[in-house]
């Protein structure tokens, strides 16, 4: 029985690998390995609550805004529970919703063109889709420009990207001036024209099937539909099939506190909308197969911050195994559309065979559908922001309480859990969507969603298990959110070169002016 080791499994990040046992051309067992220790929760201990968003946003350079946002929700929830906070102003709420919508749309573009698109390109899979070829294809390079425009627009309110500066406890620290609003509109307009009109989807599907290309209907839309039809041709509607259980935290609150996308649980064909309290009560983390001590698992609010146990028997991952009422749950764009009962243009019903099916193809379709919905949502929010509105109500770290931030990253449900005593963080936990989708087995031996999805898959070529790779990438895994490197004790020298009028930060032609010895644990 051959064993296949795939390492790494993602294009822009390492630290995830997969072990497959294959018998008679079929995967009999899969193990999802997160290969580095995660310790961001330890960094924020013994600090004031307002420090947490600043540090935790640096969990990842891809999911940068959502960690800051979710951390803010956690500490604001704790302050509200302590009776010292009433909520952020309306203008700040709209600004956060705008930035989060833009960040997710940017993330979808990165995923569809840089991470998943090459799997269906001519260069990788001999599909004839040369526009998707990495670095050289016209569609690939056009998508890079669209991504750049989105981040430029994001930085108008966020201060910079990645790692925005203006999401602040109590609201925002930037004012939505008329000039900034117009700058964002200009950048979004560029992206919108590249993407194409939402109502053009049926015509574009027909164009791609007929080998036609109409720029007036959106070059980006043609390329995205090309990916979907290539995946359909590859049989992605029938591989990478998960258990069909979905979980969404809810996102984009309105003035009444109701989420535009509500929290939802979909199990055995039944949809429910639990309260935040019910979600918090249902979530646990198993460390049975993780290199952490047993007391690092359980209820996130009560568990110890992660304590490494690298010699633990039967463990094979630095990721934990989150469970909802003991069940593994899929999260992401597909989950969000299922809990809102949306299938724009019936794409998942027609191409995927069933709008609620957990398959590699449906995950791709859902991300494309959500990209169009987000573009339209961004335009609506822009028209609704008052440039003279109040953006912050003030903040004090002087309280004791506990809180949970529930939000949605591009790739799924994200939660931050915090305890504060006398203005100091005493416990902190982060549960990321990639842990939900790609974590290890739990104490009962139940695989994660990804492990479940690839077990039973056919592997025609053990040297190139391409459909397994297509499946893992369909979850849009972000391993930086899930694990972090542990450095040995050592000293490093950092050279800092200032920018000059004629050069970039690399300091071409300049001499480094500062060096600092940094002792890192």
Instruction: Read off the pLDDT of residues 293-342 as tens digits, 9 standing for 90 and up.
Output: 999 999 999 999 899 999 999 999 999 999 999 999 999 999 999 999 99
pLDDT digits (tens, 9 = 90+) for 149-181: 999 999 999 998 888 989 999 999 999 999 999
**Residue range 385-406: mean pLDDT, rounded:** 97
Cα separation, 170 vs 78, in Å, equals 12
CB atoms within 10 A of CB 158: 25
Grouping H, G, I as helix, E, B as strand and the rest as coil, residue 152 is helix
Cα separation, 433 vs 17, in Å, equals 17
41 is in an annotated binding site: yes
Sign of CA dihedral 189, 190, 193, 196: negative
Sign of CA dihedral 183, 151, 391, 51: negative
Cα separation, 447 vs 29, in Å, equals 9
Radius of gyration of the chain (CA): 23
Whether the predicted pLDDT of 485 surpasses 80: no
430 is in an annotated binding site: yes
Of the pLDDT bands very low, low, confident and very high (cuts 50, 70, 90), residue 480 is: low
| Three-class secondary structure assignment of 50-94 | CHHHHHHHHHCCCCHHHHHHHHHHHHHHHHHHCCCCCCCCHHHHH
248 is in an annotated binding site: no
- Buried b / exposed e along 425-438 (16+ C-beta atoms within 10 A): bebbbbbbbbbbbb
pLDDT at 193: 97
DSSP letter (8 states) at residue 392: B
Backbone angles phi, psi at 421, to 5 degrees: -130, 120
Backbone angles phi, psi at 284, to 5 degrees: -135, 165
**Residue range 431-443: mean pLDDT, rounded:** 96
């Amino acid at each position: 029985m051959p064993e296949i080791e795939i390492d790494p499994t993602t294009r822009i990040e390492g630290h995830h690998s997969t072990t497959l046992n294959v018998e008679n051309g079929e995967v009999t067992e899969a193990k999802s390995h997160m290969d580095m220790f995660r310790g961001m929760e330890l960094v924020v201990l013994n600090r004031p609550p307002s420090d947490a968003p600043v540090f935790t946003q640096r969990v990842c350079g891809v999911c940068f805004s959502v960690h800051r946002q979710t951390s803010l929700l956690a500490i604001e929830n704790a302050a509200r529970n302590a009776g010292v906070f009433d909520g952020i102003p309306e203008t700040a709420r709209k600004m956060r919703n705008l930035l989060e919508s833009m960040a997710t749309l940017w993330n979808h573009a990165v995923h569809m063109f840089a991470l998943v698109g090459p799997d269906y390109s001519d260069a990788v899979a001999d599909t004839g889709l040369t526009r998707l070829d990495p670095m050289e294809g016209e569609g690939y390079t056009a998508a890079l420009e669209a991504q750049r425009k989105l981040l430029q627009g994001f930085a108008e309110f966020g201060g910079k990207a990645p790692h925005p500066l203006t999401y602040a406890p109590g609201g925002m620290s930037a004012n939505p001036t008329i000039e900034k609003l117009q700058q964002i509109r200009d950048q979004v307009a560029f992206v919108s024209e590249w993407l194409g009109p939402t109502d053009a989807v049926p015509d574009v599907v027909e164009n791609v099937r007929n080998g036609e290309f109409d720029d007036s209907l959106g070059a980006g839309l043609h390329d995205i539909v090309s990916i979907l039809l290539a995946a359909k041709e590859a049989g992605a509607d029938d591989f990478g099939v998960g258990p069909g259980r979905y979980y969404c935290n809810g996102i984009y609150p309105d003035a009444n506190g109701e989420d535009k996308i509500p929290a939802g649980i979909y199990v055995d064909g039944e949809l429910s909308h639990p309260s935040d309290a019910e979600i918090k009560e249902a979530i646990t983390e198993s460390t049975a197969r993780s290199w952490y001590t047993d007391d690092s698992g359980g209820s996130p609010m009560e568990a110890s911050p992660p304590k490494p146990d690298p010699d633990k028997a039967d463990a094979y991952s630095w990721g934990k195994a989150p469970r909802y009422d003991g069940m593994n749950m899929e999260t992401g764009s597909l989950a969000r559309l299922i809990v809102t009962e949306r299938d724009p243009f019936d794409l998942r019903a027609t191409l995927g065979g069933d709008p609620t099916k957990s398959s590699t193809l449906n995950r791709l379709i859902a991300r494309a559908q959500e990209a169009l919905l987000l573009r339209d949502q961004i335009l609506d929010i822009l028209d609704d922001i008052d440039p003279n509105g109040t953006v912050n109500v003030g903040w004090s770290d002087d309280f004791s309480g506990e809180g949970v931030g529930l939000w949605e990253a591009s790739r799924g449900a994200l939660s931050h859990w915090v305890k504060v005593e006398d203005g100091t963080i005493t416990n902190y936990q982060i549960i990321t969507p990639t842990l939900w989708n790609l974590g290890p087995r739990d104490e009962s031996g139940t695989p994660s969603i990804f492990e479940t999805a690839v077990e039973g898959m056919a592997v025609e070529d053990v040297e190139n298990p391409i459909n397994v790779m297509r499946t893992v990438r369909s979850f849009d895994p972000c391993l930086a959110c899930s694990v972090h490197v542990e450095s040995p004790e050592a000293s490093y020298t950092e050279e800092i070169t200032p920018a000059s009028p004629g050069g970039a930060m690399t300091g071409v032609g300049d001499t480094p002016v500062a060096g600092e010895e940094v002792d890192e644990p």
